[in-house]
Amino acid sequence: MAIKTKSPAEVAAKWGEVTPGRSRFYEANAGAAGEDWARNTEAAAAAFAAAVTSGNIKQMFSGGVRRAGAAKYTRKVKDVGVSRFGQGVGAAVQDMAAGIEPFLTTIAGLTLPARAPRGSEANLERVRVIAQALTKKRLALRSAGG
């Protein structure tokens, strides 16, 4: 059974209409996330260093996070992010539609195994089919430079 999805244009249009009105949630939640951002970003230093594999990148990354600090992050969310949030979403509707199109098309083209009773391990096969297809699509798009 194929999975029915909305078109990329429908999804992007709804996202573009609804999301700008959520700037107060952005302000409340993103503005309060400065400490989490600083802690989690600094904790990612080892993974970042492995990814870019240059000499002293770990120290440079951690130092940059500490130098910027949670206070600057929080201030920029309030002073810049909130006022630009809706405008940014509106400007990105076309990009969002183009970005999700290959993934929605991939999902729509899948045939999933039949559902099993709730809680059945067999239902994980349905998830695996989707996950594998989306990973394959993502890697194909990345290798093609898209």
Every domain of the chain and the residues it spans: 8-92
Residue 111 has pLDDT above 90, yes or no: yes
Residue 31 has pLDDT above 90, yes or no: no
Cα dist from 141 to 24, 55, 93, 106, 146, whole Å: 34, 30, 20, 12, 5
* Token code pair at residue 89: 């979403």
Alpha carbon distance 28, 34 (integer Å): 11
User: For residue range 83-99, what is the model confidence (pLDDT) as tens digits?
Assistant: 999 999 999 999 999 99
Alpha carbon distance 4, 7 (integer Å): 10
Q: What is the DSSP letter of 111?
A: B
The pLDDT-based confidence of 34 (bands split at 50, 70, 90) is very high
Q: What is the DSSP letter of 2?
A: B
Residue 126 has pLDDT above 90, yes or no: yes
Question: Is residue 41 within 8 Å of 17, Cβ to Cβ?
Answer: no
Average pLDDT, the chain: 92
User: For residue range 60-70, what is the model confidence (pLDDT) as tens digits?
Assistant: 889 999 999 99
Q: What is the mean pLDDT of residues 26-35?
A: 90
Alpha carbon distance 131, 129 (integer Å): 6
Residue 55, amino acid: G
* Token code pair at residue 64: 């940059």
SS3 (DSSP) at 26: helix
In the chain, what is the greatest distance between 2 CA atoms, to the nearest angstrom? 53
Question: Is residue 122 within 8 Å of 116, Cβ to Cβ?
Answer: yes
Residue 78 has pLDDT above 90, yes or no: yes
Residue 54 has pLDDT above 80, yes or no: no
Q: Find the range with the poorest average confidence among 27-31, 34-38, 91-95, 102-106.
A: 27-31
Q: What pLDDT score does 11 carry?
A: 96
Cα dist from 117 to 72, 112, 114, 128, whole Å: 50, 15, 10, 17
Q: Determine what percent of the chain is predicted with pLDDT higher than 90.
A: 81
Q: What pLDDT score does 145 carry?
A: 59
